Chain A
Amino acid sequence: MNLTLKIWRQKDSKAKGQMVDYKVTEISEHMSFLEMMDVLNEQLVNTGEEPVAFDHDCREGICGMCSMYINGEAHGPDRGVTTCQLHMRMFKDGDTITIEPFRAAAFPVIKDLVVDRMAFERIQQAGGYISVNTSGNTQDANSLPISKHAADEAMDAATCIGCGACVATCKNSSAMLFVGAKVSQYALLPQGQVEAADRVRNMVAQMDLEGFGNCTNTGACEIECPKGISLENIARMNRELMKASI
């Protein structure tokens, strides 16, 4: 496949970025999108140009680092995948592909396609944990009965990898799917009940402080989420905050 790539290039966080066109040739349809980016970067290095900076780690679809907005969608046109699991067979020979970093005021660009998602870490630090000492005195897993339904729902929420696709795709740059998932995974389990009220209050307060927008229930985040986190988690967070505020 021969492709034209329109890529956002930005020298550093303070620089003014712009879209730059590149050509790549002989791309295999079996390559992942990141492998295609590797080919481009090899080409750029060989011609003495600065390679395109992009985040990646596991390349197995579980780390959530590859923050790319491809042809107008977070992680590109495929569903339930991160960029590393997006394959070039989703595109056609001769296509022009637009590649941008995730956009949100709370996700400033560090360089090219790399964005700072530390806001998510600070939200997690505000309450995304349970205060239990697990060193040396771990209980048997079945000593605390939990219904299968609750365990499954908590597990579904816990599959959120914090990639930020929800924020990137939301027209309001809202982080409510991420925070809803993190609140839910504890709210559904007995271990999370002790700090439930403080958790939701503190995490929502931090989310607002970071400058994320307000959810208007478009549902775009749920569609673009590589882990299929349900909107129900946002509804549960809303209920949890109402309960904690009364």
Chain B
Amino acid sequence: MSGFFKSSIGRKVAMALSAFFLMFFLLQHFAINLLSVFSADLFNEVSHFMGTNWLIQFALQPVLIFGVVFHFVMGFILEIRNKKAQGVSYAKNNGAANSTWMSRNMIYSGIAILAFIILHFIDFWFPEINVKFIQGDWSGVHEGVEGYRYFHELQEKFVSPIRVGAYVIAFVFLGLHLLHGFTSAFQSMGATAGRKKTLQNIGTAYSIIIPLGFIIIALFHHLNHH
């Protein structure tokens, strides 16, 4: 089996498996963020559970970090190998005649998402790690904030129009990435036989609804902050 993952197809399968994991993570992240639109208390409760549950923090979180890092590193490795396989470039190449912009530019939409993830880590993840693992404060409360601090922090982050703008742009790129990536992951797993059209429709719906949902949530908090 180790030989399999050294082969070109094995790398595709590994890329697809990490993509499935990340798409599932994105779905649950969206579901929790969506709560913030309807109920600050419920969002706080769920955020506190996710942020303090030991199974999530010490088992699932490392797997998530590995999944994210693996997907990016493998993406770059495959891009470098594929560039090497190309040899001399064409003087004239009409890529639009036979493939979508999304499928040809996964590396660029991926880089845009990577830039966003770095911003997201600086915004949310690093402060969270600092509070819990360095300061040792697992209480979920903050001086001057009534109840848990999570909803308050979320609102504070979406005050800046520049940050919201960057957020919107990043999620547009995520949508473009998913428009190709969703079906591509199933194709790499060899799981498209007889259900390609259905998968494409589900993929299109997922790629539009989830990123658009994240954008709407960000705009909602930006416009409703007092």
Q: Report Cα–Cα, A218/B187, bound state, in Å.
A: 11
Whether the pair A72, B94 counts as a contact (CB closer than 8 A) is yes
Kindly identify, within residues 178 to 214 of chain A, every residue whose CB is under 8 Å from any CB belonging to chain B.
204-205, 207-208, 211-214
- Contacts A8-B91, A172-B85, A173-B85; is A235 near B187 (CB within 8 Å)? yes
* Interface stretch of the complex, out of B1-9, B20-28, B165-173, B204-212: B1-9
* From A100, A174, A220, contact of B85 by CB (8 A): A174
Residue of B nearest to A98 (CB): B92
Whether the pair B86, A245 counts as a contact (CB closer than 8 A) is no
Kindly identify, within residues 201 to 246 of chain A, every residue whose CB is under 8 Å from any CB belonging to chain B.
204-205, 207-208, 211-220, 223-224, 231-232, 234-239, 241-242, 245-246
Whether the pair B190, A238 counts as a contact (CB closer than 8 A) is yes
Kindly identify, within residues 54 to 97 of chain B, every residue whose CB is under 8 Å from any CB belonging to chain A.
78, 81-82, 84-95, 97
Closest CB in chain A relative to B8 CB, distance in Å? 5
Whether the pair A219, B103 counts as a contact (CB closer than 8 A) is yes
Residue of A nearest to B194 (CB): A232
Whether the pair A246, B1 counts as a contact (CB closer than 8 A) is yes
Q: Report Cα–Cα, A49/B12, bound state, in Å.
A: 48
- Contacts A98-B91, A241-B7; is A216 near B82 (CB within 8 Å)? yes
Whether the pair B91, A19 counts as a contact (CB closer than 8 A) is yes
Query: Which residues does chain A contribute within 8 Å of B187, judged by CB atoms?
Result: 217, 231, 234-235
Q: Report Cα–Cα, A103/B91, bound state, in Å.
A: 10
Query: Which residues does chain B contribute within 8 Å of A125, judged by CB atoms?
Result: none
Query: Which residues does chain B contribute within 8 Å of A8, judged by CB atoms?
Result: 91
With an 8 A cutoff between CB atoms, is B99 at the interface?
yes
Query: Which residues does chain A contribute within 8 Å of B90, judged by CB atoms?
Result: 69, 72, 100, 103
Q: Report Cα–Cα, A88/B82, bound state, in Å.
A: 34
With an 8 A cutoff between CB atoms, is B132 at the interface?
no
Kindly identify, within residues 8 to 37 of chain B, every residue whose CB is under 8 Å from any CB belonging to chain A.
8-13
Q: Report Cα–Cα, A237/B9, bound state, in Å.
A: 9
Closest CB in chain B relative to A223 CB, distance in Å? 4
With an 8 A cutoff between CB atoms, is A55 at the interface?
no
Query: Which residues does chain A contribute within 8 Å of B12, judged by CB atoms?
Result: 214-215, 238
Interface centre among A71, A108, A220 (most CB of B within 10 A): A220
With an 8 A cutoff between CB atoms, is B104 at the interface?
yes
With an 8 A cutoff between CB atoms, is A56 at the interface?
no
- Contacts A214-B78, A216-B78, A217-B187; is A204 near B9 (CB within 8 Å)? yes
Residue of B nearest to A169 (CB): B98
Whether the pair A208, B104 counts as a contact (CB closer than 8 A) is no
Query: Which residues does chain A contribute within 8 Å of B82, judged by CB atoms?
Result: 171-174, 213-214, 216
Whether the pair A217, B103 counts as a contact (CB closer than 8 A) is yes
Closest CB in chain A relative to B91 CB, distance in Å? 6
Whether the pair B4, A172 counts as a contact (CB closer than 8 A) is no
Kindly identify, within residues 134 to 189 of chain B, every residue whose CB is under 8 Å from any CB belonging to chain A.
180, 183-184, 187-189
8 additional A-B pairs beyond A171-B82, A172-B86, A232-B196, beta carbons within 8 Å, are A72-B95, A213-B85, A215-B8, A218-B98, A232-B192, A235-B191, A242-B4, A245-B3
Listed in ascending order, the chain B residues whose CB lies under 8 Å from chain A are: 1, 3-4, 7-13, 78, 81-82, 84-95, 97-100, 103-104, 106, 180, 183-184, 187-193, 196
Instruction: List 6 tightest A-B contacts by C-beta distance, closest first.
Output: A72-B94, A213-B85, A239-B190, A172-B82, A245-B4, A105-B87
